[in-house]
């Protein structure tokens, strides 16, 4: 007799670098996203949504004739043999949308968008392959007033979310200045053969907050080996070139005027550098006129951003306060968003320059910071559990459903227990659902035309104060009966008591 084979059962496991989000975190995120959207709307930005994946060549990062263009992004081949990739940010899809709809759009075009993006990169603590961004972009103007406005938007968004001045700073710089410094170091930043080296320099400086000057110095040179043993290839600059770059990124001062003076000396006579300095000076004037001093927006040469498509001003929103992480270590949260000017992305489609600038918030990181500050708890956004109507008699399920519908009609979250267990299991279920109260109607209550409401929050509080079982039974804490037609009003009173 043949041996019976066991059916194959896949393991219940998360893909590497991914995570599940529960209801508390999702509700808190929803509250935060709604607040951000309100601020963006006050600045005149309009919502937009684009697909999760695009044709790979439209993302601007890979050649379409590669065998599998999946370095940095997740890609797949469709039935026509064309490569598609999950979007790695929300900016490249915006460039495609603008190019396709340019004739019908108002100029400048202002949009905001939130949604998940994917990176096919090595995951690590707090670093996931799927995460959510919230962007605002202005397309169709080269006026640096648009860049300055995004810095104001970033500052106002953080303050509206409850982050006090002094606990954050928006740091700004200009890519043209870095190109001028590379020229001074003997590297032509615009030569095609230097493109990879320039990008490696950018990504090295972009890690300044996390690795410090010493770590960046290694990445500008031969490379760096991290704690796990993985080696990151460096830009292979000569020692004097490294010294020139590090002098630039260290030139920041508290005041914007002082920093501009220091950068003027480092940029030298470079035409590119002079253009970058002028843009920063104009942004400084606009920010000052609008009341955004260096305590809110600061010029910092250490800000470069890691993506290669930025062409002018770049900016990052950084949280400066310290908080205890899950591992118990106290650290700064650091950057929670950034962006800059990208005047070449739309041009890839249209063949003509369409200037653009944008700012992107890292939603998960900002949410963690707000939670640490106590500004966004698990219960934000109406996250209290529903009122649960217990089913005491299976023959009367329609009556219990009617009670749940009555509560919903009164604007109260409510559900009828739809399982098949008894009273004790139903009460345990209500506890796990974080229900503020349960509704009970057995035969005795029905005969009297009443319902019993058990206030679970008050009951839990009183249970810590009552040690004697007889006292508990006689006191029947937080449990009372009302006429059936007063059900909704009584439950509303219970909910109001715990909101006060």
Residues 416 and 364 in one domain: no
Alpha carbon 92 to its chain's center:
18
Residues 335 and 431 in one domain: no
Q: Whole-model pTM?
A: 0.82
Is position 148 within any domain?
Answer: yes
Is position 315 within any domain?
Answer: yes
pLDDT of residue 459: 81
- The pLDDT tens digits of the residues spanning 269-314 come to 788 889 999 999 999 999 999 999 999 999 988 888 877 788 999 9
pLDDT of residue 50: 97
Give the contacts of 496 (CB within 8 A, at least 6 positions apart): none
Residues 367 and 250 in one domain: yes
Alpha helices in 185-320 (DSSP H): 195-206, 208-220, 239-249, 256-267, 271-289
Helix H or strand E segment including 389:
strand 387-389
Alpha carbon 404 to its chain's center:
36
- Residue range(s) defining the domain that contains residue 396: 387-499
Is position 8 within any domain?
Answer: no
pLDDT of residue 132: 95
Q: Which tokens hold the place of 421? A: 């267990």
Q: Domain ends where: 347, 372, 397? A: 372
CB 242: neighbour CB atoms within 10 A?
Answer: 22
Number of independent structural domains in the chain: 2
Helix H or strand E segment including 482:
strand 479-483
Average pLDDT, the chain: 87
Out of 15-29, 402-416, 468-482, least confident range: 468-482
Q: Domain ends where: 327, 345, 372? A: 372
- The pLDDT tens digits of the residues spanning 83-128 come to 999 999 999 999 999 999 999 999 999 999 999 999 988 887 778 9
Residues 391 and 292 in one domain: no
Residues 456 and 344 in one domain: no
Highest-pLDDT range among 60-74, 188-202, 353-367: 353-367
Residues 367 and 436 in one domain: no
Q: Are the C-beta atoms of 47 and 111 separated by less than 8 Å?
A: yes
Residues 311 and 406 in one domain: no
Q: Domain ends where: 320, 340, 372? A: 372
CA dist., res. 382 & res. 436, Å (int)? 12
Residues 249 and 166 in one domain: yes
What is the pairing mode between strands 387-389 and 231-233?
Answer: unpaired
Q: Are the C-beta atoms of 414 and 401 separated by less than 8 Å?
A: no
CA triplet 255, 258, 262: central angle to 5 degrees?
140
CATH number of the CATH domain containing 432: 3.40.50.800
CA dist., res. 180 & res. 272, Å (int)? 6
Indicate the pLDDT class of residue 64, thresholds 50, 70 and 90: very low
Is position 4 within any domain?
Answer: no
Is position 14 within any domain?
Answer: no
pLDDT of residue 62: 46
Is position 57 within any domain?
Answer: no
Q: Which tokens hold the place of 418? A: 């739809």
Q: How far is CA 446 from CA 400, 443, 467, in A?
A: 11, 5, 32
CB 414: neighbour CB atoms within 10 A?
Answer: 23
Residues 366 and 416 in one domain: no
Residues 421 and 468 in one domain: yes
User: With 0-12 CB in 10 A as exposed, 13-18 as middle and 19+ as buried, what is 373?
Assistant: middle
Is position 62 within any domain?
Answer: no
Residues 310 and 240 in one domain: yes
Q: How far is CA 88 from CA 36, 71, 73, 137, 400, in A?
A: 21, 11, 6, 16, 49
Is position 69 within any domain?
Answer: no
CA dist., res. 474 & res. 485, Å (int)? 27
pLDDT of residue 493: 93
Residues 367 and 391 in one domain: no
User: With 0-12 CB in 10 A as exposed, 13-18 as middle and 19+ as buried, what is 422?
Assistant: exposed
Q: What sign does the dihedral 294-299-302-304 (CA atoms) show?
A: positive
CATH number of the CATH domain containing 143: 3.30.930.10
- For range 303-329, the mean pLDDT: 81
């Amino acid at each position: 007799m043949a041996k019976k084979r066991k059916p194959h059962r896949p393991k219940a496991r998360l893909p590497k670098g991914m995570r599940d989000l529960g209801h508390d975190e999702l509700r808190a995120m929803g509250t935060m996203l709604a607040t951000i959207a309100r601020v963006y709307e006050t600045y005149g930005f309009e919502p937009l949504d684009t697909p999760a994946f695009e044709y790979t060549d439209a993302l601007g990062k890979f050649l379409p004739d590669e065998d599998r263009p999946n370095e940095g992004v997740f890609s797949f081949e469709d039935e026509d043999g064309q490569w598609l990739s999950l979007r790695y940010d929300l900016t490249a899809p915006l460039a495609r949308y603008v190019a396709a709809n340019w004739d019908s759009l108002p100029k400048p075009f202002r949009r905001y968008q939130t949604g998940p993006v994917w990176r096919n990169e090595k995951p690590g603590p707090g670093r996931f392959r799927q995460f959510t961004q919230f962007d605002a972009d202005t397309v169709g103007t080269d006026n640096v007033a648009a860049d300055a406005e995004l810095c104001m938007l970033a500052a106002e968004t953080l303050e509206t979310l409850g982050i006090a001045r002094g606990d954050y700073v928006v740091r700004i710089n200009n890519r043209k200045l870095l190109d001028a410094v590379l020229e001074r170091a003997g590297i032509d930043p615009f030569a095609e053969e230097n493109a990879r080296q320039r990008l490696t320099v950018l990504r090295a400086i972009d890690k300044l907050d996390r690795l410090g000057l010493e770590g960046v110095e290694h990445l500008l040179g031969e490379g760096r080996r991290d704690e796990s043993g993985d080696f990151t290839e460096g830009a292979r600059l000569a020692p004097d070139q490294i010294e020139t770059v590090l002098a630039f990124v260290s030139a920041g001062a508290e005041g914007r005027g002082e920093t501009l003076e220091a950068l003027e000396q480092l940029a030298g006579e470079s035409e590119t550098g002079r253009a970058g300095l002028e843009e920063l000076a104009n942004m400084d004037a606009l920010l000052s006129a609008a009341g955004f001093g260096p305590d809110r927006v600061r010029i910092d040469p250490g800000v470069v951003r890691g993506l290669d498509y930025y062409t002018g001003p770049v900016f990052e929103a950084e949280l400066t306060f310290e908080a205890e992480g899950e591992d118990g270590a106290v650290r700064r949260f650091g950057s929670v968003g950034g962006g800059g000017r990208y005047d070449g992305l739309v041009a890839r489609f249209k063949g003509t320059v369409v200037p653009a600038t944008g700012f992107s918030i890292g939603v998960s990181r900002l949410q963690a910071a707000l939670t640490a500050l106590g500004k966004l708890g698990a219960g934000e956004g109406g996250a209290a559990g529903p009122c649960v109507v217990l089913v005491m008699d299976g023959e009367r399920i329609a009556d219990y459903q009617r009670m749940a519908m009555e509560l919903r009609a009164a604007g109260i979250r409510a559900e009828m227990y739809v399982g098949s267990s008894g009273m004790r299991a139903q009460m345990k279920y209500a506890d796990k659902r974080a229900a503020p109260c349960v509704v009970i109607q057995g035969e005795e209550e029905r005969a009297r035309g009443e319902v019993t409401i058990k206030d679970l929050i008050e009951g839990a509080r009183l249970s810590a104060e009552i040690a004697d079982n007889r006292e508990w039974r006689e006191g029947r804490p937080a449990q009372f009966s009302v006429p059936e037609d007063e059900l909704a009003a009584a439950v509303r009173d219970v909910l109001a008591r715990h909101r006060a």
